[in-house]
Amino acid sequence: MEYGTDVKNRLRRAEGQVRGVLKMMEEGKECREVVAQLSAIRTAIDRSIGLVIANHLQACIREELEKGNDPDQVIKEAVELLVKSR
């Protein structure tokens, strides 16, 4: 599967946020500030997961339809991936 630049850019931003949190910790920033940034990172990662699964689902459904197959199993697998990611 090919991953688009949009999801890679999201993950690069999250990577930068993690580095920022580490710096905040080294500087002794308040717990609330650190936790707020960690929550933002988690949200960014969750959205990246959703984007990866959505792109995968679209490609797999198209592929199954082109083969003349029912895409229900692909949809079920995508839902399971989403559930496991939480």
Provide the phi-psi class of 28: left if phi over 0, else alpha when psi is between -120 and 50, else beta. left
Per-residue model confidence as pLDDT tens digits over 11-61: 999 999 999 999 999 999 999 999 999 999 999 999 999 888 888 888 888
pLDDT value, residue 58: 85
Find tokens 């990866």 and name the residue.
Answer: 52
Q: Which of 34, 58, 50 is nearest to 83 (CA)?
A: 50
